[in-house]
């Protein structure tokens, strides 16, 4: 299972939100490129970037910060680093501009609900480079930077997007995001069980044990996890997390932690 350190960009800085609330942001680094360099030095091979300003504005805003992170990755010669970016990608031109910067995958959110044909077209144009982020509030998909909630269920949207050829689904439980309350294992189990493409979990990870609980869902297709606040606060060590997941140490997790249906 891949671990994606999250770098959320707001006003050109690396921040974390609490439950998606822009008014509850905390700055962790004024220089996102330095933050990316730190995660790479600790062993990261995947980076998850979100343009929070872009999600709110409806178009990419933090392109210079993203470009600076791409440059850091280009200068990493000992291993390949993959970057995925979301936030404000609501037309083909924005996706094209982002991918031209050197980003590996573009994450679509709002358009998956409002313009599904655009998702299908982009999947054809950029095979294996389009990911759909499904951000759910009480099981319903939130859009426009989590500022609005649709009537579409997360599982229904995941099924539609899988049929269109997206490379993966990122599932975020908004009520867990930034809370360190643990991932929503039941919702992930339901969603991953309904599609045949990789699912990346996001929201609520507070410990290595949470990561190992998620590892128990790998047989259902949960192939990655995005970790944000827990890394920034030190609740989770990236180096230790990578080692633990790589060793498959979920066998040692007590059942009362929610790690059921082990395989």
* Phi, psi values for residue 180, rounded to 5°: 60, 30
Tens digits of pLDDT across the chain (263 residues): 999 999 999 999 999 777 667 777 788 889 999 999 999 999 999 999 999 999 889 999 999 999 999 999 999 989 999 999 999 999 999 999 999 999 999 999 889 989 999 999 999 999 999 999 998 888 888 877 666 777 889 999 999 999 999 999 999 888 776 667 788 899 999 999 999 999 999 988 999 999 999 998 999 999 999 999 899 999 999 999 999 998 875 444 444 333 332 22
Does residue 54 contact residue 22 with C-beta atoms inside 8 Å?
Answer: no
pTM of the model: 0.88
- Domain limits, the chain: 2-257
Residue 219: half-sphere exposure toward Cβ, Cα within 13 Å: 9
DSSP structure string for 228-251? -HHHHHTSS-HHHHHHHHHHTGGG
- Which one from 53, 104, 135, 210 is the annotated catalytic residue? 135
Identify whether the C-beta of residue 171 lies closer than 8 Å to the C-beta of residue 191: yes
Respond yes or no: is residue 135 known to be catalytic: yes
CATH fold of 2-257 reads TIM Barrel (3.20.20)
Candidate list 8, 53, 104, 177, residue with the active-site label: 8
- CA within 13 Å, CB half, 140: 10
- For residues 13 and 115, what is the distance between their CA atoms, to the nearest angstrom? 30
């Amino acid at each position: 299972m891949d671990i994606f350190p999250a770098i959320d960009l707001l006003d050109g800085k690396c921040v974390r939100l609490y439950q998606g609330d822009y008014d509850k942001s905390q700055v962790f680094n004024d220089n996102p490129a330095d933050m990316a360099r730190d995660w790479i030095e600790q062993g990261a091979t995947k980076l998850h970037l979100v343009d929070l300003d872009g999600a709110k504005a409806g178009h990419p805003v933090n392109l210079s910060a993203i470009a600076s992170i791409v440059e850091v990755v280009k200068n990493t010669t000992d291993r390949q680093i993959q970057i995925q970016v979301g936030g404000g990608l609501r037309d083909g031109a924005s996706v094209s501009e982002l991918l031209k910067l050197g980003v590996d995958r573009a994450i679509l959110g709002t358009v998956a609900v409002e313009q599904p044909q655009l998702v299908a077209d982009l999947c054809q144009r950029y095979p294996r480079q389009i990911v759909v982020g499904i951000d759910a509030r009480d099981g319903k998909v939130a859009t426009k930077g989590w500022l609005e909630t649709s009537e579409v269920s997360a599982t229904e949207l995941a099924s539609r997007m899988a049929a269109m050829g997206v490379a993966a689904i990122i599932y975020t439980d908004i009520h867990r995001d930034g809370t360190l309350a643990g991932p929503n294992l039941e919702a992930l189990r339901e969603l991953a069980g309904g599609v045949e493409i990789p699912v990346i979990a996001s929201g609520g990870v507070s410990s290595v044990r949470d990561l190992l609980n998620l590892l128990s869902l790998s047989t259902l297709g949960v192939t990655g996890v995005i970790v944000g606040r827990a890394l920034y606060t030190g609740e989770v060590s990236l180096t230790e997390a990578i080692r633990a997941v790589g060793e498959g140490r979920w066998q040692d997790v007590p059942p009362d932690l929610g790690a059921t249906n082990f395989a």
